[in-house]
Amino acid sequence: MRILLLGGTAEARALAARLHPRVEVISSLAGRVPDPALPVGQVRIGGFGGVDGLIGWLRENPVDAVVDATHPYAAGISANAAAAAAGVGLPHLLLARPAWDTGAALTVDSNAEAAAVVAEKAYRRVFLTTGRSGTAAFLGSDAWFLIRAVTPPDRQLLPPNHELLLSRGPYSYDGEAALLREHRIEAMVTKNSGGAMTRAKIDAATDLGIPIVMIDRPGLPAGITTVDTVEDAIAWVQRLV
């Protein structure tokens, strides 16, 4: 059996490792992160060119199924994968890690809404952990931001008052608590990414009484098969076999 695994997440790497070598896995990474953690098996890096490009790739590179284990906020990729798999009649699965319990966090629908909350609440020192694509909404803010990202955002998309921290998880509770104290953070803006790699910031902020503004996940494509654990994804592939 041969599957196309749309990856880039810890879950995708774990799934590739568990299936190899009984199943031939071709892992596809978007290529937006330099020096990415690579899964076992075959790897391709780069986009497909939308739905039509992915359909063309699937016709030129026959596989038995498509498994989407991309980041929960990669809504465009997930929509394209669902449409392309349907277009060529392939089984398709979405592996979406469970969201965090939002607890007392203020949930918003977008970066723009998060920026509006920061302005309304007059937060002065903000820990911004929405990734490199989330900074543009805060360009007009008077607040100071500690911005953590894997790769640096474009300079013209950074708010005027900021410190850039380039790093990659996993993060520890003690380290996150120390970071929040050291920078006298008054509020955190984050996505509901789920998973254990970055959960510590949520726990540390909650225990320190720091308000959390959490950007909700985008909706999933309608009518697709979805699981939330690597074990369930393995079981789905085994049923195909």
**Helices marked H in the chain:** 10-19, 50-60, 75-88, 111-121, 173-182, 199-207, 230-240
Q: How far is CA 132 from CA 116, 138, 156, 169, 190, in A?
A: 19, 12, 12, 15, 12
Model pLDDT for residues 158-189, shown as the tens digit of each residue? 999 999 999 988 999 999 999 999 999 999 99
DSSP labels for 156-183? Answer: GGS-SSEEEEE--S---HHHHHHHHHHT
Taking 80 as the threshold, does the pLDDT of residue 32 lie above it? no
Question: pTM to 2 decimals?
Answer: 0.89
Model pLDDT for residues 195-240, shown as the tens digit of each residue? 889 999 999 999 999 999 999 999 888 889 999 999 999 999 999 9
Domains in the chain, CATH or no CATH each: 2-98+218-240 (3.40.50.720), 106-215 (3.40.605.10)
